[in-house]
Amino acid sequence: MIGLSNIEKRFGDNLVLKGVTVTIAEGSVTALVGPSGGGKSTLLRCINLLEIPTSGTVRIGDETLEFHPGGRVPARDIQRLRLQTGMVFQNFQLFPHRTAIENVMEGLVTVLKWAPERARERALALLEKVGMAHKADAWPATLSGGQQQRVAIARALAPSPKVLLCDEPTSALDPELAQEVVDVLGKLASEGTTMVMATHDLRLASKIAKEVVFLDAGVVVENGPAAVLFNNPEQQRTKRFIATLKQEAEKEGGGEV
């Protein structure tokens, strides 16, 4: 289980998250939706501590860390919590100087000190899972965006994280390439991978997410099961936002909810 309680994040005078509390059950898929600047990405990055919350508590499985304004958290604790997570980025962020399989092996070899042969075996199995085994020795620059993102998913899964965090995983892709990423994420979801994704992609959110958290201006406006939130939201603010998303999806001819 992942628990975020009372998370506040301040950048200078700018309070980006105003006491957010979210609980994510093991094996569930949660979508963070909401307008740009609403705090989705920041919240996601507070889970793996790429952003250190100003205050609040982050809990992943048995690991709990508390944050206080001005307090310093030891790098070792941050590392321990972070190793429970894997992250997929909007722009993939594969290492361009490493081949696909080396990208997946990197964390196992460098951080977890696995023997290279063992890491290669696991990396290949993961590339197989995301349908990229045939490109194991390709350079990232020679892969399409969708292929790069699938390799990035394999890289994030390599250390067997408790949760996969996806920050706009399909936003840099055209609808066709986005589809292959949605398919892979859907497959992972059906296998019981715990996921939290920040997304604007209605197709992704509606197809995969079971739970939805709607964030605006740094607070949780509404949360609940995806079907309810997408089709019958309670709050006026949520209704407006979902309606816009649906309109956009129709314009693109892509998503249906």
Partner 1 sequence: MQGLAFTVVAPYWDLLLIGAWWTAVLTVSAGALSFVGGILFAVIVLYAPNIVAYPVRACMWVFMGTPLLLQLFLIYFGLVQIGIDIPALAAGIVGLGLHFAVYNADIIRAGIVAVDVGQTEGARSIGFGKWQTLRHVVIPQAIRNTAPPIGGNLIALLKESSIVSVIGIAELVHSAQLAISETFRPFEFYITAAALYYILNLVLEAALRLFERHVEASR
- CB nearer to partner 1: give 83 or 221: 83
CB of 100 to partner 1, least distance (A): 11
User: Is residue 141 helix, strand or coil?
Assistant: helix
Buried/exposed code over 150-177 (b: 16+ C-beta within 10 A; e: otherwise): bbbbbbbbbbebbbbbbbbbbebbeeeb
Q: Which one of residues 26, 64, 112, 176 is an interface residue with partner 1 (CB under 8 A)? A: 112
Buried/exposed code over 194-213 (b: 16+ C-beta within 10 A; e: otherwise): bbbbbbbbbbbbbbbbebbb
Contact 90, 171 (CB under 8 A): yes
Q: Which one of residues 50, 124, 133, 172 is an interface residue with partner 1 (CB under 8 A)? A: 50
Instruction: Pick out residues in 209-248 that bind partner 1 (CB under 8 A).
Output: none
Cα 225 to Cα 28: distance, rounded to the nearest angstrom: 11
Q: Is 89 in the site for partner 1 (CB under 8 A)?
A: yes
Phi/psi-derived region of residue 95, left when phi > 0, alpha when psi is between -120 and 50, beta in every other case: beta
Using CB atoms within 10 Å of the CB of residue 217, give its burial: 0 to 12 exposed, 13 to 18 middle, 19+ buried. middle
Q: Which one of residues 23, 57, 93, 144 is an interface residue with partner 1 (CB under 8 A)? A: 93
Q: Which of 77, 44, 45, 50 is nearest to 63 (CA)?
A: 77
Which segment (12-20, 23-31, 88-96, 236-244) binds partner 1 by CB under 8 A? 88-96
Which segment (21-29, 80-88, 208-216, 236-244) binds partner 1 by CB under 8 A? 80-88
Cα 232 to Cα 94: distance, rounded to the nearest angstrom: 39
Q: Which two tokens stand for residue 34?
A: 């909401």
Which segment (6-14, 18-26, 138-146, 212-220) binds partner 1 by CB under 8 A? 138-146
Q: Which one of residues 71, 95, 160, 256 is an interface residue with partner 1 (CB under 8 A)? A: 95
- CB nearer to partner 1: give 30 or 48: 48
Which segment (152-160, 173-181, 182-190, 214-222) binds partner 1 by CB under 8 A? 152-160
Q: Is 85 in the site for partner 1 (CB under 8 A)?
A: yes
Which residues have a Cβ under 8 Å from the Cβ of 117 and sit 6 or more positions away?
none
Q: Is 48 in the site for partner 1 (CB under 8 A)?
A: yes
- CB nearer to partner 1: give 12 or 75: 75
Q: Strand 29-33 to strand 163-167: parallel, antiparallel, or no bridges (unpaired)? A: unpaired
Q: Which one of residues 120, 122, 155, 207 is an interface residue with partner 1 (CB under 8 A)? A: 155
- CB nearer to partner 1: give 83 or 249: 83
Applying CB under 8 A, the residues found at the interface with partner 1 are 48, 50, 75, 79, 82-83, 85-87, 89, 91, 93-98, 106-107, 110-112, 139-141, 152, 155-156, 158-159
